[in-house]
Amino acid sequence: MDLGLKRKKVILTGGSRGLGRAALELYAAEGADIAFFSRNPDGVREAEESLKRHGGKVFAEAFEVKDMESYSTWLSRAAEELGGCDIFVHNISSSGAGGSGDWDMTFNLDIKAAVTSISTLEPYLEKSQDGSVIFMASTAAIETFIRPQAFNALKAALITYGKQLSQSLGTKGIRVNMVSPGPIVFPGGNWSKVKEAKPDFYDMTKAQMVLGRFGTPEDVAKTVVFISSPASNYTTGTNVIIDGGYTKRVQF
C-alpha cells in the first residue's frame, strides 16, 4: 500500500531510540524527508547514519528542550532545512527523560512544548496539501495507572488539547490525531528498567495483556506513520489506543 509519504517533510521530536526511532525508520523507508532531535549526541549520529541510507534528506541535531524560545527556534530551523512541514509528531515527554512524577518537567515537555510546536509550525502545515499532527499520549491518561502522577494527568490534558485542535485546525486542512500506547518494551526504556527492578510487577502487567506480550516500538510506529500519512486523510480528532488489550474500558 502506498502511503503517499514520498518527499513529505516530517518533523519528529525525540527520535534516537524507542517509538520515535522506529517511526523515523518507517518514514524514511517510505521516502520522506526527516528532521529530528534527541538529547543524546551519539544516538543522534547513529540514527542519522541509518536514516540516510534510505536516500531522503535528514536534518538531525543533539538538542534538549530547556525553554520554549529555543525550542521554537529549532522547529523553525528544521522546517526551513526541509523546505516545509507536512507532518509533525510531538514525541518528547517527561517519561523519556525519567521525570514522570515531575509536574514542572511534564508540563513543559508534554503540554507547553506541544502548544509551542503548533504555534510555530502551523504556518508550514497550512501550506501543505497534507498537513498532519500526531500527539503521542498514553493509556495512562485514559485509565487509572499505578499511582497519581504528573505524566498520567497531563497526557490526559494533551488528548483534550489535541481534540480541540482538530476542530480549530481542520478548517485549514490540518489533521490532528493522538496515539496512546500501552506498556512498551525496548532496551533502555522504562519497562526494561521495571523488568530489572520489579520483575513481579512486570510479570503481573504482562499477564494483563490479552495478546500475551508487551508491545514493541514497531507495533506503535506502524500506526503513527499510517494515521499521519495521506493514506489516512479523513481521520482527525481520534485517539488511537495501541496496547495489546491492556486497557479494559469501553469507548463509544
Q: How many CB atoms lie within 10 A of CB 230?
A: 16
CATH of 9-185+217-242, one of 3.30.1600.10, 3.40.50.720, 3.40.190.10, 1.10.10.10: 3.40.50.720
Q: Are 50 and 43 in contact (CB under 8 A)?
A: no
Q: How far apart are CA 181 and CA 134, in angstroms?
A: 13
Q: What is the pLDDT of residues 110-166, one digit of tens each?
A: 999 999 999 999 999 999 999 999 999 999 999 887 778 899 999 999 999 999 999
DSSP 103-167: HHHHIIIIIIHHHHHHHHHHHHHHHSSS-EEEEE--GGGTS--SS--HHHHHHHHHHHHHHHHHH
Q: Are 211 and 49 in contact (CB under 8 A)?
A: no
Q: Where are the domains of the chain?
A: 9-185+217-242
Q: Are strands 239-242 and 175-181 parallel, antiparallel or unpaired?
A: parallel
pTM > 0.75: yes or no: yes
Among the listed residues 2, 22, 25, the one whose alpha carbon sits nearest the alpha carbon of residue 231: 2
pLDDT at 249: 85
209, exposed or middle or buried, with CB in 10 Å at 0-12, 13-18, 19+?
middle
Q: Are 21 and 44 in contact (CB under 8 A)?
A: no
Q: How far apart are CA 53 and CA 36, in angstroms?
A: 16
Q: How many CB atoms lie within 10 A of CB 163?
A: 17
Q: What is the pLDDT of residues 49-60, one digit of tens each?
A: 999 999 999 999
Q: Which three cell numbers stand for residue 39?
A: 538529547
Q: Which three cell numbers stand for residue 201?
A: 510487577
**pLDDT tens-place values along the chain, 252 residues long:** 799 999 999 999 998 899 999 999 999 999 999 999 999 999 999 999 999 999 999 999 999 999 999 999 999 999 999 999 999 999 999 987 777 789 999 999 999 999 999 999 999 999 999 999 999 999 999 988 777 889 999 999 999 999 999 999 999 999 999 999 999 888 877 777 778 888 888 888 888 889 999 999 999 999 999 999 999 999 999 999 999 999 988 877
